[in-house]
Structure 1
């Protein structure tokens, strides 16, 4: 009988669960959406069938990449971390466009033909774009229009002033797990393929039938004619040259105008407007090349055409090439949250998040093209249940079954919400009920976590602004004399106020990082005061130590300014590759090897770094003593220059200059630091980097480039370059150094900056070993750095940690990006959210306390002004309502009667 009863009970339970599940799959609750549509289209296109697919099947809608950076919106809108990759691509495409436009128009005379960038210069430049931007850029290229490229590397078979049909060197990061030298069979991300896309049977990317060149019709062919003023902008750069140590050729800047990418107006909001300098393609399948779904950012290269013509009136600035930066589509973060202020239209994946009605969606950085890159936070008026701490992660929701989703991932409603209190009038005197004099004094000398720490002397001071004419009682003075008794009372009070956060926690386990630190807050005030009171007008009257901030005041620069630092690293990688592999005397039959670097090359590189990025105020390439060797002039007869020119110092530095006589318009200038009396090699940043890398090269990474060049001027086929593969040693991002914040009072930058320094290396004259050859620097404006005031570990060198004004007993601190793109070095870039078991008490359409509000109310309290700082706390959450399931109650009652019988 007992066995039969057990079987019947099991059958009833099984029928109950089958009935509640309705026979459906546990994941059937997930409905197909736009993400599934794009995933299906992505998997149907392969390397084998892509050539037979029509164009619309190998392209995605442009809305699949949302919030693409636009040049004229970079200073007026916030660029969040999930778009840092696209922003770096945007800036690097513009960087290369500025460089090639400048260099081709500057070296536009016939005598300059051999000094223009040669074959390996173009190949190595594209290689450096890829190797120095790991995680940001997968491919880099420059594609010339039909018969717009003049090769200076054909020695005998191509006449001077002749062009090639097409020319398009493109570098792509190769998956090198199968390389014979890779014995671990793990991808290193340090191998790059470089092919000329204008070579071979399928090389006419200018044809409309070429389905994998969507960047070409955005700029080429250039048939604008009378619209040149809209699509080509005239830039003016000033350069101060030096040809000997400690002296400039001319004390004035030489103005060098050139035509470059367009400059849009602030009101031009079209996605691919003709006036935008950088345009984005739709995601497309790179068929027959990388065979990946990629997105390209492209910018135009402008040159005088026809070149070297005696008829000047026939020459006009013309777009001759496109600078292109590629990234894999799967690496770009999608935003599955609904359309909102932070997620504007168009967005193809908007609304694909699976948050419950009581929650709202927040995107998470770093997920790429896959589900789960979001979290669901409670809406205003709701709080997290006691069994769940923090937001509901999208990965957990996407992996949940239907039953788990139905009963979970829901916030509880807050009852009896309060109206936000107004500021108390100044005439109201705040009094405490049932508080003894001794308790008041103990509150002053032993404040809670959220109140300012003051000494007993400060607590007893009679300040009119804080005490408002309140006299100090005599009993308080007597208590001051009895410090031993007061100390014991204070310790008992602290023990009474201690609330363990988990079972078994003792007082000594509570870390200092969990509390507000008044000493760090006072130090932060001093740092901000020094920064705000040092400017261009008074910097020369201040001692040197006041032009620096502590090193930990620049915390976060290595992460927030990684794209700007990799701009310097790109130039470092290029110089390493060029200096370690190029021999000016090499000739391979009809193909000539590259010449040495010249001054104009490096000047153009540092100018392009500054002109392509608003955050970079200055950039320089500083060669070590007697390490810069230039090529000799053409038709040289001076015996001193037979083997070229070796400069003692060469340090071109470009910067953004705002002059009062130009109505505040920006000018870009460059100066050779060799012309200054004090050599730059004596600067500490140069000496420290040289001391680190002068003799020990352990840790440098070896990179491999596989260049494939055209077999003849017409591009019949691809062949390997004579030196295949090319290998060189270059630093990683971590090998560079971020300097402490400095006010550069040099008459050029005159701003607070944080500087990144990266070394570069060449070969010794005998080509037998590596040598330290110099450093590349970028100066980033300090105002773009966001402060991190939330609690941090004791080992983190952050001058602003533990200064957030959250009430840590009921709240925890999270960083919150400020909405002021040009001024972020401010307090309040955080939010105070309620801890588990607490709820937000106010009915004001928010669910956290903003850090700027916390800072403002706290300052009002310090000044003795009416404030509501004491009300900015979370309250203990109420119990959730109890619901009854009549089905479960009936089933339980039936089983109870059955067991009783």
Structure 2
């Protein structure tokens, strides 16, 4: 028996060793176990069946698994790269909803009349649903979680005035409807949303620490300590002009309104003082059963409400807005920590780039390996068979032999020192070096060489050996490159001060007809792209920019409409770059469409009262929140069509258009456009949308809402809403329109802007059909848009197309994000078979340098524009072993040839 037990024990040890060996490797044996594998194992260990029994520590991942979080105090001083735009939008939407609820809670907190104007139950439900419906690929959940006894419900008939609910937490999340009975195709549509009250049901106490995944609650609540009120609660002032009849304002002056909102941090504020905080990724157990990450912001209110003794009231954190994103959709940065990849980063150094390459992350890969490229370091070049950087997906699926003998860059031996212009009358001479050394360690030559072709310059070693010390064939090759004879060696002394005469040329060189870019930058139809510099397009851009600089808020009133409008192709890229700002307007359109199509103002469901009609305070609050929640949005408004807005008393207003914009400093302003003499329904952004949708609503998407309500005031259980499920039709992103750039001369923004407008809908007066109700807009300054100067297809409406000054015979153009509306936002990288010749820390030519040197050349000044090109890559070296092998093979062939 003992021998059998010993054998079983030995077999178990072998099995455990095998499991450990398997655990210590990645996809292939040569790949070591790293932090990525550790997180994968951690995630795989949690399932919907065992998550309830897991401790809270096992339901959360390391907080540094998501790096480079957008911080409120750094948004204006840092560049948000494309792989973090989804997190930035999550941040902005959490702040947006926090501002709205804080504003409404405090403005409508004075009397029983204000209590009736507060948002109703369906307002909360449809608002959280709209956050998700308008962001199908970025936001997967939205909630407003109230603290204990901080929610004043006006939608229950059996709840007395000024009483509270124990807990109230409406949360919506995207439901996987592939197995839904109404989905006969059995394909997920992303158009079905579940809404529950998290303050009701068997696990309703999310304020209890045993809830495990309530980190968003712990950040802000309970708020019993007033010692940090001055730091965490900021006073905001909004100036508003109301109008109760067409063409006239109630007051000529703006009415100032102050309210407490989320903190406004300074540049050096610690993380706990920021208005938006991110949770660690966690498993949403029992709900969506996914790994998610949340952005949360605090909601403020004066408590206790409706009290005559104002000095007893205090501003408190009463709720938290919580917006979720799927953790698996977030890109991570596997590159080593550096200036562009700061610590902390849990996945740093998980990329497999070779020492001769530099790692750069890619966008859109989500939580999987391979989302990076390996580019050659300065002083290295790609082999002739490699077209552009090595892709991470290729490296991650390579075998050990492929990885060991591939994915390397070759050293560039002959490098050029960047010339320095010292103000003399001559151009500087470029000098080739055999080593990457300091500029002051390199002597420069007084004769020979070429500015246009620096690779023909003489070679100087690290020890500054003179030309006369070269011998044999090396000496003859050097003299031939210099165009000198040996008798002239004394004239070719090294002189660091002597410069050649300037060589000015305004000739525009034509590129070859077909140039291929690396795979990660290549257009599938690149044979139709004319890769060349378009001087006519550049001249046109210069004329447009000069015209823009001549118009300002002081003289715009005397300009014609033609002068205040720019060509539409100047706003190329707005659909992609500003889609988050457009989705803010789309969110409002979804909410209004859902509310106006489903809410019956006169119906009651037992003790549940139907919502009241939308009032002006709520819509002003929505417009103000859109502007305060996103620093790129300079204006936002909701504009109802003629006789489509009804007041709470049942009367109809001819026009109603609450519009908010960012005023001077940080102050936000708002106005009802109905007070102007000229109506907004004649503006182009309103007319274009109305003409499309006023008589035909075909093409609107159908969304499904499954709402669950609490069964009683105490939230004992959940039950279905009487209308289950509910449906509404709303526009998609493509149904909205971006305007051409124009100068906003209304006295509000007073700058060049572009406007995104999207329609919203509701039931007609008979309640039988859906009809056009109005337009939601957002205004963004043109200066927030990045321009793309790289070549594009002939049909692409881009005014800046083909204005980059890359040398297309040896380089290709790559646009750079974050440069805004200015020229030079690109880089010129070497094409296949070419190498970067200069001895600096770069491997490409920066667009700013290209633009500056080209302008100098056009003005006839000293320049080095003709040197900003890549040269043909040299042949690889032949090792002594290879020479010996070739010699042996030649000898054998010669022997048998006899």
- Matching residue of 2:843: 847
Aligned residues of 2:662 and 2:669 also touching (Cα < 8 A): yes
Q: Are 1:584 and 1:596, in contact at CA under 8 Å, matched by a contact in 2?
A: yes
* Residue of structure 2 equivalent to 1:6: none
Instruction: Tell me, in whole angstroms, the C-alpha distance in 1 between the residues paired with 2:124 and 2:527.
Output: 58
| Residue number in structure 1 paired with 2:409 | 411
* C-alpha RMSD of matched pairs (Å): 2.7
Q: Deviations over 1:802-824 (max 9, x none)?
A: 00000000110001124x6xxx1
The runs of 5 or more residues in structure 1 that have no matched partner are: 1-23, 435-466, 471-489, 503-508, 633-643, 659-664
2:546 pairs with 1:540 = no
Q: Which residue of 1 aligns with 2:336?
A: 338
Q: 1:500 to 1:755 in 2, by over 3 A?
A: closer
Structure 2: how far apart are the matches of 1:885 and 1:570?
A: 68
- Give the structure 2 partner of residue 814 of structure 1: 814
Describe the SS at the equivalent of 1:514. Answer: coil
- Structure 2: distance between partners of 1:252 and 1:589: 46
Match of 1:774? 774
1:298 aligns with 2:296: yes
Find the counterpart in structure 2 of residue 154 from structure 1.
156
Residues in 1 aligned to 2:803 and 2:640: alpha-carbon distance in whole angstroms: 42
Q: Could you say what secondary structure the match of 2:588 adopts?
A: helix
Aligned partners of 1:26 and 1:403 also within 8 Å? no
Q: Aligned-pair distance for 1:718?
A: 0.4
Q: Does 1:713 align with 2:713?
A: yes
Alignment of 1:57-136 (within 5 A): 57-108=58-109, 109-136=111-138
Query: Aligned match of 1:322 in 311, 320, 323?
Result: 320
Residue 319 of structure 1, CA deviation = 0.7
Question: What's the CA shift for 1:82?
Answer: 0.5
> Is 1:138 the counterpart of 2:134 in the alignment?
no
Mapped to 1, the partners of 2:361 and 2:205 lie a distance apart of 41
Q: For residues 68 and 498 of structure 1, what CA distance do their matches in structure 2 show?
A: 43
Give the direction of change, closer, same or farther, for the CA distance of 1:26–1:885 in structure 2 (3 Å limit).
Answer: farther
Would you identify which runs of 4 or more consecutive aligned residues in structure 1 move more than 4 Å? 467-470, 497-502, 509-512, 884-890
8 Å CA contact retained: 2:756, 2:778:
yes
User: Which digits, 9 at most, give the CA deviation of each residue in 1:141-196, with x for residues without a partner?
Assistant: 000000110111111x2211111110100000011111122121111111100011
Q: Note if contact 1:707-1:724 (Cα within 8 Å) is conserved in structure 2.
A: yes
User: In structure 2, how many angstroms separate the alpha carbons of the residues matched to 1:101 and 1:32?
Assistant: 48
User: Measured at CA, do residues 587 and 795 of structure 1 come closer, stay the same or move farther in structure 2, by a change above 3 Å?
Assistant: same
Q: Indicate the residue corresponding to 1:827 in structure 2.
A: 823
Cα distance in structure 1, aligned partners of 2:845 and 2:340: 19
Label 1:887 to 1:859 Cα distance change in 2 as closer, same or farther (>3 A): closer
2:583 match = 566
Q: 1:889 to 1:54 in 2, by over 3 A?
A: farther
> Distance between the aligned counterparts of 2:178 and 2:333, measured in 1?
32
Distance 1:625 1:26 in 2: 63
Q: CA separation of 1:568/1:26 partners in 2, compared to 1, >3 Å: closer, same or farther?
A: closer
The residue that corresponds to 1:367 in the other structure is 365
In 2, Cα distance between the equivalents of 1:526 and 1:345? 45
- Offset at 1:841? 0.3
Report the alpha carbon displacement of residue 540 of structure 1 after superposing the two structures with TM: 2.1
Instruction: Provide the residue aligned with 2:171 in structure 1.
Output: 170
2:609: which partner in 1? 592
| Match for residue 862 of structure 2 among 844, 860, 866 | 866
Cα 1:594–1:846 change in 2 (3 A) is same
3-state SS, counterpart of residue 547 of structure 1: coil
- Alpha-carbon separation, structure 2, partners of 1:382 and 1:494: 27
The alpha-carbon distance between structure 1 residues 858 and 149, as it changes in their structure 2 partners (threshold 3 A), is same
Q: What residue in structure 2 maps to residue 253 of structure 1?
A: 254
Does residue 191 (structure 1) correspond to residue 175 (structure 2)? The answer is no
SS in structure 2 of the partner of residue 123 of structure 1: helix
User: Counterparts of 2:880 and 2:179 in 1: how far apart (Å)?
Assistant: 62
Give the direction of change, closer, same or farther, for the CA distance of 1:468–1:78 in structure 2 (3 Å limit).
Answer: closer
Question: Which aligned pairs between 1:378-457 and structure 2 lie closer than 5 A?
Answer: 378-423=376-421, 425=423, 427-428=425-426
Q: State the Cα distance separating 1:531 from its structure 2 match.
A: 2.3
Determine the C-alpha separation between the residues in 2 that align with 1:103 and 1:786. Answer: 36
CA contact (8 A) 1:424 1:868 kept: no
SS at match of 2:850: helix
Structure 1 counterpart of 2:673: 673
Query: Which residue of the partner structure matches residue 357 of structure 1?
Result: 355
Say if 1:426 and 1:866, in contact at 8 Å, map to a contact too: no
Shift of 1:242: 0.3
**Residues 244 and 674 in structure 1, CA contact (< 8 A), matched pair in contact too:** yes
Return the alpha-carbon distance in structure 2 between the equivalents of residues 148 and 414 of structure 1. Answer: 68
Q: 1:286 matched to which residue of 2?
A: 284
Q: Is the 8 A contact 2:419 2:428 kept in 1?
A: no
Q: Secondary structure at the match of 2:178?
A: coil
CA distance in 2, matches of 1:588, 1:500: 70
Q: Is the Cα contact below 8 Å between 1:516 and 1:803 reproduced in 2? A: yes
Contact 2:530 2:792 in 1 (8 A): yes
Structure 1 partner of 2:754: 754
Quickly say closer, same or farther: Cα 1:337–1:888, change in 2 above 3 A. farther
Deviation at 1:510, TM superposition (A): 7.7
- Contact 1:305–1:315 at 8 Å: present in 2 too? yes
- The answer to whether the 8 A contact 2:26-2:33 is kept is no
Correspondence for 2:787: 787
Q: Is the contact made by 1:731 and 1:759 (CA closer than 8 Å) also made in structure 2?
A: yes
Tell me, yes or no, if structure 1 residue 836 matches structure 2 residue 853.
Answer: no
CA offset digits 1:42-73 (Å, max 9, x no partner): 00011111111111111111111101111111
> Could you tell me the TM-score, scaled by structure 1's length?
0.85
**Mind listing any 5+ residue stretches in structure 2 that lack a counterpart?**
1-24, 430-446, 449-500, 517-525
Q: Secondary structure at the match of 2:219?
A: helix
Is the CA contact 2:425–2:502 (under 8 Å) kept in the aligned structure 1?
no
**Shift of the alpha carbon at 1:523?**
0.9
- Could you tell me whether the CA contact under 8 Å between 1:94 and 1:277 is conserved in 2? yes
Q: TM-score, normalised by structure 2?
A: 0.85
Q: Within 5 A, what are the aligned runs for 1:535-684? A: 535-632=552-649, 644-658=650-664, 665-684=665-684
Which region of structure 1 is more displaced relative to structure 2, 49-58 or 421-430?
Answer: 421-430
Distance 1:353 1:112, change over 3 A: same
> Quick check: 2:243–2:672 contact (8 Å CA) kept in 1?
yes
Work out whether residues 142 and 169 of structure 1, in 8 Å CA contact, stay in contact via their aligned partners in 2: yes
Cα distance change of structure 1 residues 317 and 510 upon mapping to structure 2, 3 Å threshold? closer
- Residue of structure 2 in register with 1:208 after alignment: 209
Q: Separation in 1 of the partners of 2:255 and 2:839?
A: 63
Q: Are the aligned partners of 1:26 and 1:402 in contact in 2 as well (CA < 8 Å)?
A: no
Q: Deviations over 1:688-743 (max 9, x none)?
A: 11110011111110011111010000000000011111100000001100001111
Aligned-pair CA distance for 1:884: 6.5
CA distance, structure 1, for counterparts of residue 419 and residue 425 of structure 2: 17
